[in-house]
Amino acid sequence: MSRLDSAIRRLEAQRHCLNRAARMIDGVSGPVLEFGLGNGRTFDHLRELFPDREIFVFDRHVEAHRECIPDDRHIVVGDFRDTLAGAGARIGAPAALVHCDVGSGRAEEDRRLARYLAGALSGLVAPGCVVVADQALDSDTLVAIDPPSEVEPRRYFMYRAVPT
Ligand code: SAM
């Protein structure tokens, strides 16, 4: 598969999963968390999907398109391993939706980060929260659910948080 085809499939998978997740959290209150601002594409999609929810975005730097940068209260800058510890106070309520788009393309590094996020997220999510991720997340509080049928297996991942 060409890298162009691969990139298109990834972006389509993100859109399918986020749109599905939006319908799934109708009855779940709480903010949305985005890990990986990057260019701001998925943040922009999330704010279209959730005009009435707060969206907090985490990244080590802000290098997004200038029209896709959250305001100061909603962008948390730094390594996730440093910023997640105090994130509960910042976001104010357990999250209804989490999107992790953190891959670097370096498999071992990405696996290590996914292990960290899977553990750290459990303290930030509401029961019924949907987690959409570019990496597989292994956690007792997250139950894997099938992404939409259009998404190739293991291209993107979806989970639902169970009460702890
Ligand atoms: N969702 C973005 C979009 O649609 O444009 C793309 C995100 S990009 C694939 C991954 C982002 O995760 C990068 O901006 C990178 O800086 C961030 N990132 C990866 N590891 C991180 C870490 N340990 N701490 C903070 N940010 C990290």
- Ligand 1 pocket mutation, candidates 60, 84, 121, criterion most atoms within 8 A of CB: 60
The protein residue whose alpha carbon is closest to atom 24 in ligand 1 is 79
Tokens of 108: 């071992």
Q: Kindly give the number of the ligand 1 atom that is closest to the alpha carbon of 44.
A: 4
| pLDDT 10s digits, 78-106 | 999 999 988 999 999 999 999 999 999 89
User: Which of 44, 59, 99 is the pocket-test mutation for ligand 1 (most atoms within 8 Å of CB)?
Assistant: 59
Residue 29 near ligand 1, beta carbon < 6 Å: no
Q: Closest Cα to residue 56, out of 2, 136, 148, 121?
A: 121
Whole-angstrom CA distances from 151 to 18, 25, 97 are 12, 20, 19
Give the whole-angstrom CA distance, residue 98 versus residue 95.
7
The pLDDT of residue 163:
76
The CA distance from 143 to 110, in Å, is 20
pLDDT at 73 over 80: yes
* Nearest partner of 24 among 152, 142, 128, 150, judged by Cα: 128
Could you give the CA distance from residue 101 to residue 147 in angstroms, rounded to a whole number?
A: 15
Q: What is the pLDDT of residues 127-152, one digit of tens each?
A: 999 999 999 999 999 999 999 999 99
The model's pTM is 0.97
CA distance 137 to 158: 9
The helix (H) or strand (E) run that includes residue 94 is none
Of 134, 119, 115, nearest to 36 by C-alpha is 134
